[in-house]
Structure 1
């Protein structure tokens, strides 16, 4: 899904106040990390993921791979943090970072 520049700006401003929900270490993307990312995106729609890997190229590749597997859109990458978005099928106003 492609986001308009206005949507990206809005999501970045919302994401600024969020804390990373998932931390990915140098071990890579395990099945548990993928399941947790999928669950978090379904609940919250907009999440931050922290990557603690050494190389920039490896980090960029892992971000792209995670987004592809969980079918999310990368809103922003800054340092070791990635902001991911995926619209929920049935958004819960109490959990969604976009509806609060």
Structure 2
């Protein structure tokens, strides 16, 4: 079972506050298919909420401990019928999409020939996160965000 410091646990509790339950466990209890679903949810999200139906508190605590032991996850919080569980995401999934975010990305621009009878010209260009490729194939920077005149006058 993964161990967390009190500061890490507190930060994860704050982050989990806005989450909705991803997995719901019925009164039948923990089945292999439910454990598999929790495992895949932890792989994709890292921090998840689980709702457990049933009125027996001891059974919910046992389910919570079983999930954390079998899936090598850390218990974050247990409030009523909600369980919050954390396990770091796999490194393979983090590096799977290097082109996302605000970094540089490669874009292929295809322009038709001026006469229309020859092959189109294909060029590969590196584009920054704040740039976009227009329909004509030229690169433009994104416009700066407009500021509201009403919001700026309220601050005075």
TM > 0.5 between the two? yes
Q: Which entry has the higher C-alpha Rg, 1 or 2?
A: 2
TM-score of the pair, normalised by structure 1:
0.87
Q: Could you list the runs of 5+ residues in structure 1 that have no partner in the other structure?
A: 94-100
What does 1:43-58 align with in structure 2 at a 5 Å threshold?
Answer: 43-58=44-59
Task: Specify which structure has the higher proportion of helix.
Answer: 1
Q: Determine the structure 2 residue equivalent to 1:22.
A: 23
What does 1:8-87 align with in structure 2 at a 5 Å threshold?
Answer: 8-87=9-88
Whether the 8 Å CA contact 1:43–1:92 is kept in 2: the answer is no
C-alpha RMSD of the superposition: 1.3
Cα deviation 1:30-88 (Å, max 9, x = unaligned): 11111110000010000000000121111111111111111111000000001000012
Paired residues, what number?
A: 93
TM-score of the pair, normalised by structure 2:
0.57
Q: Could you list the runs of 5+ residues in structure 2 that have no partner in the other structure?
A: 96-156
- Residues in 2 aligned to 1:92 and 1:83: alpha-carbon distance in whole angstroms: 22
Whether the 8 Å CA contact 1:75–1:84 is kept in 2: the answer is yes
- Residues in 2 aligned to 1:75 and 1:12: alpha-carbon distance in whole angstroms: 7
- Residues in 2 aligned to 1:9 and 1:92: alpha-carbon distance in whole angstroms: 24
